[in-house]
Structure 1
Amino acid sequence: MATRIRPSSKRCTVIGGSGFLGRHLVERLVDRGYTVNVFDIRQAYELPGVTFYQGDLCDKLALVMALKEVSIVFHCASPAPGSDDGALFQRVNIDGTRTVIQACHEAGVQKLILTSSASVVFEGTDIKNGKEDLPYAKKPIDYYTETKIKQEKLVLEACSKEKGFLTVAIRPHGIFGPRDPQLVPILVDTARRGKMKFIIGDGSNLVDFTYVENVVHGHILAAEHLKADSPLCGQAYHITNDEPVRFWDFMSQILVGLGYSAPRYHLPYALVYGIALLLWFISLILRPLIQFKPTFSPMRVALAGTHHYYSCARAKQDMGYRPLVPLQEAVVRTVESYPHLRNGE
């Protein structure tokens, strides 16, 4: 009987490696001496020493090809939050993750690190210094959150020391940084349309925003500390900048840094949330006839008007996590990376 070759601990595959977080992760892994495969629906760039595999997440045969002789898999693929395409979230986050787990078993992968989300415990109400033992949201605020909960459960329940397959979930919150296709471009687009004049609520709510390099650092620490005798097995970990900031102060720093006016006028949170709910309901009714998408969804209003920040104590204790880039430096780096979005450009 042939002896199975044990994959090198420095060989990994990044699923979703063409995305915002995925690409930053790939670049950092290469810097640290890893041999990296990327599996994604598209190839967005080229990098020396990185092998790209294009394919559908639900295509197990294609996935197995990208996982051969690999010991670690980082699963970063997910549709962006904010979409109302429930079928897409189901296909990628749930069906696709089942396929990833099956492919890992077939290819002999030893470790699976999932990019989850702190939103899996968020129901639209205040969370202050939330720990990982908070219950999953019983009423998820959108399809993204609903499917990320199911996805995280699938991955953590698949952890098996007996089978030599170890899993861990990283829960970042409010990822931002250079090449971010969501937060900064959407913020600037909203400002250019004259819709960033209002602060929802009294503006005192604290929120975690996490620089992409710190999220990447958390993923790599998790991979390197995930062993059969470690507390990481089958657990979730919050990864943030560990510097809660007023939501509207953060947004204002980005806007002002790019030459736009900061929001000044206050609107009552309950009023805006109620209007968002009404518009969301109307959009559901009208969907068969016309495509109507409100600027502010209930989810966005909740994220903008409530406290939601999380403790990194477990990550500090179990894998020595510390943010590499402080928040203010991260904001400066991010603003400088978007010269084309400056006011007047």
Structure 2
Amino acid sequence: MATRVRPSNKRCAVIGGSGFLGRHLVEKLVERGYTVSVFDIRQCYEMPGVTFHQGDLCDLQALLLALKGTSLVFHCASPSPASDDRRLFEKVNIQGTKTVIQACIEVGIQKLVLTSSASVVFEGTDIKNGSEDLPYAKKPIDYYTMTKIEQEKLVLEACDPKKGLLTVAIRPHGIFGPRDPQLVPILVDTARRGKMKFIIGDGTNMVDFTFVENVVHGHILAAEHLRTDSPICGKPYHITNDEPIRFWGFMSEVLMGLGYAAPRYHLPYTLVYALAILLWLLSVVLSPLTSFKPTFTPMRVALAGTHHYYSCARAKEDMGYKPLVSLKEGIKRTVESYPHLRKNA
């Protein structure tokens, strides 16, 4: 058993605090007067009031050291969905989360806030204003979603007020913002290679994109409302900008804001989706011989061509959630933060 240290209400740990969301969360926590312990496989910045612990998520002893003296843990660590690495997803999202829960129990952590994903209910078909009452996807269409479902179940089932551990899961969707290493850089790289000319489907599908500051706000609200008598204990909550937008409209705004042309030509959704499945099957067959990874996966095509937006009604009612930054302002701030990615930069 780990030696217990009297926890401070203003001392917390952020697991995955060197990542995109994690770093924004750490910065906001420090701004609010918290002393933060960051646990990550890498350290990529320094900040007053922040202690870094570098280690593997499955290393219990390393986690125990990082969590000592804290009462609140944010678990944001997860590989990028784009990696499509089943073993890595299982190690981090499932085995790593089991280790996190064990460490929380041994240290005596009072609150555990998980960064989950709205995609845990997504099967590639339309979701319009979906609530948290939707069932988990029975046939998830990528390994990331499959493991995030198991991760969320582990954390919510660990909620036990009698034993002193309270848990909650935050389900953001389409996170974007300054320092995002995925969405904007990949979008620009694709445009520079002349491959952002096509719209998958008719282009009318509405989706959620969520500015990172609003996701951080949702996490902190959840932590502050997580008490024994709170209705949020052991439950998941959607956190979005609450402003559904056409998927290709959002992409076009970002591209044009950086000086690139918006996509114009339409491709039939069913044709592209069928092609994505064939390419995925081919990659599986060839996996022993080559590292071939298709650009278009079934999940990416589904996200680009279907409706998927979610209701924040429960977060508004139980936590008083309200987006702090509008979608228009979020896009503006994001575009302005990437001057080096502008056309002809």
TM-score normalised by the shorter chain: which range applies?
A: over 0.9
Alpha-carbon distance between aligned partners in 1 of 2:289 and 2:163, rounded to the nearest angstrom = 52
> Equivalent residue of 1:82, what SS?
helix
- Contact 2:4-2:69 at 8 Å conserved across structures: no
Shift of 1:4: 6.6
Shift of 1:85: 1.2
Could you tell me which amino acid in structure 2 is paired with residue 329 of structure 1? E
TM (norm. structure 1) is 0.98
Alpha-carbon distance between aligned partners in 2 of 1:91 and 1:127, rounded to the nearest angstrom = 29
* 1:13 paired to 2:13: yes
> Equivalent residue of 2:114, what SS?
strand
> Equivalent residue of 1:79, what SS?
coil
Shift of 1:105: 0.8
Which residue number corresponds to residue 194 of structure 1? 194
Alpha-carbon distance between aligned partners in 2 of 1:343 and 1:239, rounded to the nearest angstrom = 33
Which residue number corresponds to residue 306 of structure 1? 306
Alpha-carbon distance between aligned partners in 2 of 1:12 and 1:177, rounded to the nearest angstrom = 24
* 1:151 paired to 2:136: no
- Contact 2:199-2:263 at 8 Å conserved across structures: yes
* 1:225 paired to 2:246: no
> Equivalent residue of 1:128, what SS?
strand
> Equivalent residue of 1:291, what SS?
coil
* 1:47 paired to 2:43: no
* 1:266 paired to 2:266: yes
Could you tell me which amino acid in structure 2 is paired with residue 224 of structure 1? E
Which residue number corresponds to residue 286 of structure 1? 286
Alpha-carbon distance between aligned partners in 2 of 1:152 and 1:5, rounded to the nearest angstrom = 28
Which residue number corresponds to residue 32 of structure 2? 32
The runs of 5 or more residues in structure 2 that have no matched partner are none
Q: Which residues of 2 match residues 238-277 of structure 1 at below 5 A?
A: 238-277=238-277
Which residue number corresponds to residue 109 of structure 1? 109
Alpha-carbon distance between aligned partners in 1 of 2:308 and 2:204, rounded to the nearest angstrom = 12
The runs of 5 or more residues in structure 1 that have no matched partner are none
Q: More deviation in 281-290 or 16-25? A: 281-290
Task: Give CA-to-partner distance per residue, 1:122-178, whole Å, 9 cap, x none.
Answer: 000000000001000001111100000000000000000100100000000000000
- Change in 2 beyond 3 A, CA 1:171/1:14: same
> Equivalent residue of 2:273, what SS?
helix
Q: Which residues of 2 match residues 147-186 of structure 1 at below 5 A?
A: 147-186=147-186
Task: Give CA-to-partner distance per residue, 1:254-288, whole Å, 9 cap, x none.
Answer: 00000100000011100110111111111111121
Q: Which residues of 2 match residues 117-156 of structure 1 at below 5 A?
A: 117-156=117-156
Shift of 1:82: 2.1
Shift of 1:84: 2.2
Which residue number corresponds to residue 70 of structure 1? 70
Alpha-carbon distance between aligned partners in 1 of 2:129 and 2:178, rounded to the nearest angstrom = 27
- Contact 2:116-2:170 at 8 Å conserved across structures: yes
Shift of 1:292: 1.5
Alpha-carbon distance between aligned partners in 2 of 1:276 and 1:332, rounded to the nearest angstrom = 32
Which residue number corresponds to residue 91 of structure 2? 91
Alpha-carbon distance between aligned partners in 2 of 1:47 and 1:4, rounded to the nearest angstrom = 26
Could you tell me which amino acid in structure 2 is paired with residue 60 of structure 1? L
Identity %: 79
The aligned length equals: 343
Task: Give CA-to-partner distance per residue, 1:82-105, whole Å, 9 cap, x none.
Answer: 222111000000000000000011
Which residue number corresponds to residue 58 of structure 1? 58
Alpha-carbon distance between aligned partners in 2 of 1:5 and 1:97, rounded to the nearest angstrom = 22
Task: Give CA-to-partner distance per residue, 1:21-77, whole Å, 9 cap, x none.
Answer: 000000000000011000000101000110000010000000000111100000000
Please tell me the root mean square deviation across aligned C-alpha atoms, in Å. 1.0
Alpha-carbon distance between aligned partners in 2 of 1:265 and 1:210, rounded to the nearest angstrom = 26
Shift of 1:5: 5.6
> Equivalent residue of 1:9, what SS?
strand
Could you tell me which amino acid in structure 2 is paired with residue 116 of structure 1? S
Alpha-carbon distance between aligned partners in 2 of 1:5 and 1:197, rounded to the nearest angstrom = 57
Q: More deviation in 76-85 or 312-321? A: 76-85
Alpha-carbon distance between aligned partners in 1 of 2:4 and 2:291, rounded to the nearest angstrom = 54
Which residue number corresponds to residue 324 of structure 1? 324
Alpha-carbon distance between aligned partners in 2 of 1:11 and 1:324, rounded to the nearest angstrom = 24
Shift of 1:330: 0.2
> Equivalent residue of 1:344, what SS?
coil
- Contact 2:172-2:239 at 8 Å conserved across structures: yes
Alpha-carbon distance between aligned partners in 2 of 1:59 and 1:293, rounded to the nearest angstrom = 30
- Change in 2 beyond 3 A, CA 1:35/1:276: same
- Change in 2 beyond 3 A, CA 1:22/1:4: closer
Alpha-carbon distance between aligned partners in 1 of 2:5 and 2:104, rounded to the nearest angstrom = 15
Alpha-carbon distance between aligned partners in 1 of 2:24 and 2:206, rounded to the nearest angstrom = 27
